[in-house]
Amino acid sequence: MPDQALILLVLVIVAALLFDYINGFHDTANAIATSVSTRALSVRSAIVLAASLNFIGAMAFTKVAKTIGTDIITADKLTQLVVLSGVLGAILWNLITWYYGLPSSSSHAIIGGIMGAGIAHAGVTALKWAGLKKIILALMISPVLGAIAGFLFVILFSRALWSRSPAGVNRGFRRMQILSASFMAFSHGTADAQKSMGVITMALLSYGLIPTFEVPVWVKVSCALAMALGTAAGGWRIIKTVGKDFVKLQPMTGFSVDSASTAVILGASLFGLPTSTTHVVTSSIMGVGLSKGMNSVNWNVAKRIVVAWVLTIPAAATVAYVAYQVMVPFLGK
């Protein structure tokens, strides 16, 4: 019979890969909603493109994984049950927001989940405050940068191409959107698959299978594949919210959103800073909408999105806290 710690390790790996899969279909909209909305790509083509480049992006970097794995919970308070409870909290919140079509953040969900599980295990002393400050600061600043970049891209293109016919501009940007959507999908992979890599590597380190926090190749491949498969499954509810209901997009504005989002997300990934792809993309869309006037943004949808943003960390933390308390009598600490 395998020991209890090994069973927990297997459960953590399965749950983390499930989280990655859900993250894939939950966040599909981030990479392809704009190109589908502007008819630059068909839904089928956009999903194939996003799934393929999500996989490649997920294999490219591990700096964000290290941040997630080492900067939230102190090493002496890290147990398999803490990791498992944190992932379950994130999964449940992701499913709830997916069901209601809310583009909430998988990044916030996993961070909140691990925080809640750590508090359930050892109180607030389990949290690594210096690391959390860096993580939360990156999560707060990146949407602001996304909104500013989206606004500036549209202004720049509008002024540079003011003499061109709208039909000609749309044709050109519709073709360019294939490239921008590709970079967006790649950057999504560099940011979001890293969270599950960090979780699994945390569990491997806690169990003693690896001596230091280095992401094994099989973990990279497994997480990249899980995210790619989830992306292929699609997230139609959120695609509609982000790509159609929030701000009406044209090829030029869609290209601006993708370009602004990619610049922010990829730049953060290179420095190992976790970002919320959902937050960056939706804030870029809002920046694009604001460039055309306040009435270009559907503020009712914006309000729903902001509410989901604010609730995600405490909600996922609460679910993870409860999950830990429910499981600890049966599985131990």
State the 10-residue block means of pLDDT for the chain, 333 residues long.
79 92 72 72 78 87 88 89 93 81 78 95 93 89 91 89 77 84 86 89 90 92 89 62 57 86 92 86 85 76 74 92 91 73
Bridge partners (DSSP) of residue 127 are: 73
Question: Using CA atoms, how far apart are residues 294 and 282, in angstroms rounded to an integer?
Answer: 15
Handedness of CA 38, 26, 310, 257 (dihedral sign): negative
Query: What is the pTM for the complete model shown?
Result: 0.83
Number of domains in the chain: 1
Backbone angles phi, psi at 235, to 5 degrees: -135, 70
Tokens, residue 46: 């956009």
Quick one: pLDDT at residue 121? 94
Quick one: pLDDT at residue 28? 62
Question: Using CA atoms, how far apart are residues 328 and 239, in angstroms rounded to an integer?
Answer: 38
Nearest partner of 23 among 238, 324, 327, 311, judged by Cα? 238
Quick one: pLDDT at residue 1? 44
Report angle CA 226, 232, 235 to the nearest 5 degrees: 105
Bridge partners (DSSP) of residue 247 are: 297
CA distances from 155 to 12, 59, 298 (A): 47, 35, 20
Question: Using CA atoms, how far apart are residues 40 and 171, in angstroms rounded to an integer?
Answer: 9
What range does the domain containing 302 cover? Answer: 4-331
Q: Quick one: DSSP state of residue 243? A: I
Question: Using CA atoms, how far apart are residues 161 and 8, in angstroms rounded to an integer?
Answer: 58
